[in-house]
Chain A
Amino acid sequence: MKILVPVKQIASLDDQFEMRDDGRDVDDDYFEKDLNEFDHFSVEQALLIKEAAGDGVEVVVAIVGDDDADDALRTVLAKGADRGIRVWDDALAGADGIVVAKILAKLVEREKPDMVFTGAQSTDFGSAATGMALAGILGWPHAAVVSHLDYTPGAPSATLRRELEGGLEEVMSIRCPAVLSIQLGINQPRYASLRGIKQAKQKQVDELSPDDLGLGEDDLRPASNVRRMYVPERGKAELITGTAAEQAARLAEIIKEIRGM
C-alpha cells in the first residue's frame, strides 16, 4: 500500500524586487523559497492514514524542482514521509501545472500508488491545476478541495467532503485509487521533530530527469506563454501616519464618522 504526495517549493517575493531582463518573470535573486502551505496538510493526511493502518503503508513524496527544492523535500521527509523523488532538468524552468502533471503521471506509472494527494493549490501562483490535471491524464477518479476524508488503505472507495463556496460542504463517495486535492484545515499538520530532521538526511531520494521518465521536448511545453510580468497599478490607501497613539486616534475618528457616532 502506497500513497504518493507531490509537493511544491513555492517562491515568495522580498518586499523590494526587480523583474528579470526579459520582463517575463521576477529576478530569482528576490525569491524566498518554502514548502507550499497546502502541502503540509496533504502530507499530514497521508501520515495520518499510515499511522492509523499501523503498518504496511509507504508515503512517497515527489517534487519537480532544482537543487533548492531538496529543502522542501527534506521538510516533508522529516515529518515522517518514507522516501522522496525529485525530478529536474533545466528544460523544466518554464514548467506549468500541466507539464508537472505529465511528469507526475509517469511517476504514478512507475510507483503504482493506491492514492495520490496534492495540495489544493500553491500559494505563489494559485493555479489549482496540477493535481486534477494529473487525474485527467491518468483517467483516475478525482475530487478537488477535499476538507474531510474517510479512507482505509486498500478500500475500493472513500468518503470525502469537498469544501464549496460559503462554507457549504458536499459529502461525496469516490472510487479508489483516486487523486484528491487537499484543502487547508483538513487536519493539524505536525512539525518535524529533531529526530525526524536527523532521520530525513538518511532517507532515500531518487533523482530523475524527464528523459529518464520517457518525456521529450514536446511534453515539456507549457499550456500558456507569459508575454510579460509587471507590478500592477495598485489602489492606494490613504496612509495614516504618526505614533501609534496618533494613528489610533485618527482611526477612532474615522470609525465614529462612518458610524455616525
Chain B
Amino acid sequence: MSGTIVIAMQRNGELLTSSFEAITAARGVKEAGDTLAVVIVAADPQSLAGPLSVGGVDEVIAVRASDDFQPDLIEAVLDDLIGQRKPALILVPHGVDAWSFAPATAARNGLGFSTDVLALRREGGDLVATRAGYAEKVLMDIDFPGKETVLLTLRTNVFEPAAGQAQATVTELAAPSADIATKHEGWKPPADAGGIDIPGAEFILSIGRGVADEANVEQFLELADKMGATLGCSRPIADNGWLPKARQVGQSGRLAANCRLYVAMGVSGSVQHQWGMKHVENIVAVNTDPEASIFSIARYGIVGDMFEIAAELENHF
C-alpha cells in the first residue's frame, strides 16, 4: 500500500479550486518516495491535465467520460484504482459531489474513512486526521488502525490551493464500464437576485434563526437600509421563505466576496454559513448564546438580545 490519489473535481469542464486544496493536503502528508497521482474524470481530461500538474503532482490520471457528474462512474474508476494500485490514501474535496460517491466507495471497499477533515498530519508514521464534532464545539483526532487504504474528504477553504508547476506524467485511462443510474437533465441557476448583491456588498447585516418569526424580519430590513448595509441571512430564514434565497449567505447561498464588515445577529455560525463569510476582516456577532460558534470567528462579540441591540442601534443612524 503506498501512494496518494487525489480526486480532482470539475463542473462543466472547469476545475474546482477545492481540487488544488486537496493537492496541498496530500503533499503535506506525503512520505519520502511516495507518489502523488491526481485523477480527473471529464469530457476532455487532457486539457485539464496541464493545470493539474502543480504542487508536487507526479501523475495525472485522465479518464475520458462526460463532464456530467455521474457518481457510479467515479466509483467504478475508484474501485479499479483501489484494486490495481492499492493506494494508502485517497483525498477528495468535501463538496456536494463527494457527498454522493465518497461514502459509497468507502463502504463498499471497507476503507478507513472520515469526512469533512480540516487538518491532516503524520504522527510516528500514522496518519492522523482532525475533524469537528457536536456542531463544531469539539475537535477529534482520528486514526485508522488496520486500514490499508484510507479515504478522506477535506473541508474546503481550509488548505491553501496548490501552486507551482510540476512535471506530471499524464496517463490516459479508459472509462470503466459502469452501470450508470443517473442522467444529467439540466441546470437550475439560482433565482434572479432582484438587485440584491451579497457578493458585491461591502457591509452586510445578517440575521439568523434568532429572528424567530417572519413578522420580525421587516425591522431588520429597515435597520439595514438605515445603516447603508445589505441585509443577508442564514439558511433557515431563506428556507422559510421569509427572505429571498438571494440574501442567503453560505455554502448553498452566496459568498460575501467583497464584504469588509459583517454584523451577524442571531446567527449561530454553522460551518455552512461560515463558508460564505468567515474570511471577512471585521465580523461582529450579536447572540444570546455565548457558546455560539460565530463568536470563535468574530472580531467583536456582543452577548445579548438581537432585538434590543437592533432597537438601540437604530438611534445612531
A-B CB proximity, top 6 nearest: A136-B104, A248-B312, A141-B181, A237-B301, A252-B316, A167-B190
Q: What count of chain B residues pass the 8 Å CB interface test?
A: 96
The interface residues of chain A lying within 8 Å CB-to-CB of B317 are 252
Q: Determine whether the beta carbon of A168 is less than 8 Å from that of B189.
A: yes
Q: Determine whether the beta carbon of A238 is less than 8 Å from that of B190.
A: no
Residue B105, interface by CB 8 Å: yes
Which residues of A211-261 have CB atoms within 8 Å of chain B's CB atoms? 223-232, 234-240, 244-245, 247-249, 251-252, 254-256, 258-259
Which residues of A121-173 have CB atoms within 8 Å of chain B's CB atoms? 121, 123-137, 139-145, 159, 161-173
Residue B114, interface by CB 8 Å: yes
Q: Determine whether the beta carbon of B114 is less than 8 Å from that of A223.
A: yes
How far apart are B12's CB and chain A's nearest CB, in angstroms?
10
Residue B263, interface by CB 8 Å: yes
Sampled A-B contacts (12; CB under 8 Å):
A11-B134, A13-B137, A162-B100, A223-B106, A223-B114, A223-B144, A229-B133, A235-B296, A237-B295, A249-B312, A254-B284, A258-B260
The interface residues of chain A lying within 8 Å CB-to-CB of B290 are 15
How far apart are B121's CB and chain A's nearest CB, in angstroms?
12
Interface centre among B101, B134, B253, B301 (most CB of A within 10 A): B134
Scoring A residues 85 to 111 as 1 if CB is less than 8 Å from chain B, else 0, what string do you get? 000000000001110011000000000
Complex Cα distance A231/B134, Å?
11
Q: Determine whether the beta carbon of B105 is less than 8 Å from that of A136.
A: yes
Scoring B residues 273 to 300 as 1 if CB is less than 8 Å from chain A, else 0, what string do you get? 0000000001011100111000111111
Nearest residue (CB) in A for B146 is: A221
How far apart are B9's CB and chain A's nearest CB, in angstroms?
10
Say whether, besides A223-B111, A251-B263, A251-B309, A136 and B103 are in contact (CB < 8 Å).
yes
Nearest residue (CB) in A for B183 is: A173
| 13 new A-B contacts at CB < 8 Å, known A13-B138, A101-B107 | A128-B116, A132-B101, A136-B75, A142-B100, A162-B96, A166-B253, A168-B190, A231-B137, A231-B138, A248-B312, A251-B313, A259-B228, A259-B261
Residue B19, interface by CB 8 Å: no
How far apart are A14's CB and chain B's nearest CB, in angstroms?
9
The interface residues of chain B lying within 8 Å CB-to-CB of A116 are none
The interface residues of chain A lying within 8 Å CB-to-CB of B239 are 184-185
Q: Determine whether the beta carbon of B303 is less than 8 Å from that of A129.
A: no
Say whether, besides A169-B187, A247-B309, A142 and B104 are in contact (CB < 8 Å).
yes
A-B residue pair count with CB separations less than 8 angstroms: 263
Chain A residues touching B, majority SS: mixed
Complex Cα distance A247/B139, Å?
32
Q: Determine whether the beta carbon of B316 is less than 8 Å from that of A249.
A: yes
How far apart are A193's CB and chain B's nearest CB, in angstroms?
21
Interface stretch among A65-73, A174-182, A195-203? A174-182
Nearest residue (CB) in B for A167 is: B190
Complex Cα distance A236/B283, Å?
12
Residue A115, interface by CB 8 Å: no
Say whether, besides A162-B96, A244-B309, A136 and B137 are in contact (CB < 8 Å).
no
Q: Determine whether the beta carbon of B254 is less than 8 Å from that of A167.
A: yes
The interface residues of chain A lying within 8 Å CB-to-CB of B138 are 13, 26, 229-232
Q: Determine whether the beta carbon of A98 is less than 8 Å from that of B252.
A: no
How far apart are A73's CB and chain B's nearest CB, in angstroms?
22
Residue A12, interface by CB 8 Å: yes
Complex Cα distance A243/B308, Å?
10
Complex Cα distance A135/B312, Å?
53
Residue B304, interface by CB 8 Å: yes
Complex Cα distance A184/B205, Å?
23
The interface residues of chain A lying within 8 Å CB-to-CB of B203 are 255, 259
Complex Cα distance A251/B286, Å?
10
The interface residues of chain B lying within 8 Å CB-to-CB of A46 are none
Complex Cα distance A135/B100, Å?
9
